[in-house]
C-alpha cells in the first residue's frame, strides 16, 4: 500500500467508524514514516468533517457520529505521545474543559495534546464542566490560562455564563480566558468578553503563547 492509499483507507474506515482498522492503519502509517500531523490533517479530521456533513444532510445519525468519533479517539491515543513529545520545562499552565451541556471532547483533546507538545502543563477537566467546577479548578491549580470548548450553538452561551461566574467570584483578572470549538468565531469570542480565540489546535497554541507573553510583559512593566 502506498501513502495515498493508506490515507484514503484511513479516511474511509474513520467514516464508517471501524475502530480496529483505524488503529491498525494509524500504526501502519507511522511505520511507513508518515508524520502524525499528516495522518490527522489529511485523513482523520477531514473524515470527521464529512461525518458531520452527512449528519447535517440526514444521511448519518447519532450512532454513526458516535462510532466515527470513537474510531478517531483510538487513533488519537496512538498519536498523542508523538504530538506531545517535549522535554522542556512547562512554559505555562492551562485548565481546559468542554462546557456544561456539551459532551464533545475530540477537538478539546487534540488542543490539549498540541498544548502539551508546545510545553504547557494541561489540567483537563473533561466534558460537561460547570462554571463552579472551573472556578474550583482555577482556585486549586492557579493556571495562567483557562480554556473553554463548546461544539454546539446551544452550549456556546456557557462561555458567558462561565465568565460571569468568574467575575462574580472576583477571579476574572487572574486568568487569560480562551475559547474555541467548531461553531465559535472571533466575533462571538469578542462579544462574550474572552481574551483569545483560535479556530484549530495549532492556532490555539500560537494564540496562547501570544497572550501569555503579553500578560507577562505587562506584569514586568
Ligand atoms: Co455532535 N455535533 N452532536 N457528536 N458532532 C457536531 C459538533 C455538529 C457540527 C454535526 C453537524 O450537524 N454537522 C452538530 C452541532 C451543530 C451546531 O450546534 N452548530 C452536532 C450535534 C447537533 C450533536 C447532537 C446535538 C446530536 C443529537 O443528539 N441530535 C449531540 C449533542 C450531544 C451533547 O453534546 N449534548 C451530538 C453528539 C455527538 C457524539 C457524542 C455522537 C459525537 C461526539 C464524540 C466525542 O467528541 N467524544 C459527535 C461527533 C463525533 C460530532 C462531529 C461529527 C465531529 C466532532 C469532532 O470531533 N470534530 C461534529 C461535526 C463536525 O465537527 N464537523 C459534530 C473533529 C475535531 C478535531 O474538530 O471538534 O472542531 P473540532 O475541534 C477543533 C476546533 O474546534 C478547535 O480545535 C480543535 C482541533 O483542531 N478547538 C479549540 C476546540 N476547542 C478549542 C478550544 C480553544 C481553541 C480551539 O481554546 C480554548
Task: Considering only residues 191 and 84, tell me which one the structure prediction assigns the higher pLDDT.
Answer: 191
Minimum-distance ligand 1 atom for the alpha carbon of 147? 91
pLDDT of residue 90: 80
pLDDT of residue 202: 84
Question: Which residues, 6 or more positions from 194, have their beta carbon under 8 angstroms from its beta carbon?
Answer: 148, 159, 163, 177, 178, 179
Mutate to test the pocket of ligand 1, among 98, 125, 151, 183 (most ligand atoms within 8 A of CB): 151
**Residue at which a domain ends, from 86, 121, 147:** 86
pLDDT of residue 91: 87
Other beta carbons within 10 angstroms of residue 159's beta carbon come to: 25
pLDDT above 90 covers what percent of the chain? 82
Residues 118, 63, single domain; the answer is: no
Calculate the alpha carbon distances from 47 to 12, 30, 36 in Å. Answer: 7, 18, 15
Distance 60 CA to ligand 1 centre (A): 14
Residues 123, 214, single domain; the answer is: yes
Residue 182 has pLDDT above 70, yes or no: yes
**Residue at which a domain ends, from 86, 117, 143:** 86
Q: Mind listing the pLDDT tens digit for each residue in 6-65?
A: 999 999 999 999 999 999 999 999 999 999 999 999 999 999 989 989 998 999 998 999
DSSP-derived secondary structure for 107-156:
HHHHHHHHHHHTTEEEEE--SSB-HHHHHHHHHHH--SEEEEE--STTTT
Residues 49, 101, single domain; the answer is: no
What does the mean pLDDT of the chain come to? 94
pLDDT of residue 87: 59
Host domain of residue 29 = 3-86
Residues 80, 131, single domain; the answer is: no
Place of cell 480562551: 178
Residues 96, 177, single domain; the answer is: yes
Residues 42, 115, single domain; the answer is: no
Calculate the alpha carbon distances from 97 to 42, 131, 148 in Å. Answer: 26, 10, 6
**Residue at which a domain ends, from 86, 103, 118:** 86
For residue 200, give the 3-state DSSP assignment: coil
Residues 82, 133, single domain; the answer is: no
Residues 80, 141, single domain; the answer is: no
Residues 98, 189, single domain; the answer is: yes
Give the number of domains in the chain.
2
What mean pLDDT do residues 134-148 have? 98
CATH value at residue 202: 3.40.50.280
What mean pLDDT do residues 162-191 have? 97
Angle (CA) 40-43-44 rounded to 5° is: 55
Q: Mind listing the pLDDT tens digit for each residue in 74-121?
A: 999 999 888 877 556 788 999 999 999 999 999 999 899 888 878 899
Minimum-distance ligand 1 atom for the alpha carbon of 53? 13
- Asked if 55 contacts 67 with a C-beta cutoff of 8 angstroms, the reply is no
Residues 138, 208, single domain; the answer is: yes
Cα–Cα distance measured from residue 205 to residue 28, given in angstroms and rounded to the nearest whole number: 28
What mean pLDDT do residues 137-156 have? 98
Other beta carbons within 10 angstroms of residue 67's beta carbon come to: 16
Ligand 1: lining residues by beta carbon, under 6 Å: 45, 48-49, 51-52, 55-56, 62, 65-66, 68-69, 101-108, 110-111, 147-149, 151-153, 178-183, 198, 200-201, 204
Q: What pLDDT band is residue 196 in, cutting at 50, 70 and 90?
A: very high
Residues 174, 98, single domain; the answer is: yes
Q: Is the pTM of this model over 0.85?
A: yes
Question: Which residues, 6 or more positions from 218, have their beta carbon under 8 angstroms from its beta carbon?
Answer: none
Other beta carbons within 10 angstroms of residue 63's beta carbon come to: 9
pLDDT of residue 88: 61
Closest by Cα among 183, 191, 101, 201 to 147 = 201
Distance 152 CA to ligand 1 centre (A): 7
pLDDT of residue 23: 97
CATH value at residue 21: 1.10.1240.10
Residues 49, 131, single domain; the answer is: no
Amino acid at each position: 500500500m502506498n501513502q495515498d492509499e493508506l490515507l484514503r483507507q484511513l479516511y474511509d474506515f474513520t467514516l464508517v467508524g471501524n475502530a480496529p482498522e483505524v488503529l491498525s492503519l494509524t500504526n501502519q502509517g507511522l511505520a511507513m514514516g508518515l508524520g502524525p500531523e499528516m495522518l490527522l490533517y489529511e485523513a482523520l479530521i477531514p473524515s470527521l468533517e464529512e461525518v458531520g456533513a452527512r449528519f447535517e444532510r440526514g444521511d448519518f445519525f447519532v450512532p454513526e457520529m458516535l462510532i466515527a468519533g470513537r474510531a478517531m479517539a483510538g487513533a488519537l491515543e496512538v498519536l498523542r505521545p508523538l504530538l506531545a513529545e517535549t522535554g522542556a520545562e512547562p512554559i505555562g499552565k492551562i485548565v481546559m474543559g468542554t462546557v456544561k451541556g456539551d459532551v464533545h471532547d475530540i477537538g478539546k483533546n487534540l488542543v490539549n495534546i498540541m498544548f502539551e507538545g508546545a510545553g504547557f502543563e494541561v489540567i483537563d477537566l473533561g466534558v460537561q464542566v460547570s462554571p463552579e467546577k472551573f472556578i474550583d479548578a482555577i482556585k486549586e491549580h492557579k493556571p495562567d490560562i483557562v480554556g473553554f470548548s463548546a461544539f454546539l450553538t446551544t452550549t456556546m452561551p456557557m462561555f458567558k455564563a462561565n465568565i460571569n461566574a468568574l467575575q462574580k467570584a472576583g477571579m476574572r483578572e487572574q486568568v487569560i480566558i480562551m475559547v474555541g470549538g467548531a461553531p465559535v468565531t472571533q466575533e462571538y469570542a469578542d462579544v462574550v468578553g474572552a481574551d483569545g480565540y483560535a479556530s484549530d489546535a495549532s492556532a490555539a497554541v500560537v494564540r496562547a503563547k501570544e497572550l501569555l507573553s503579553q500578560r507577562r510583559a505587562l506584569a514586568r512593566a
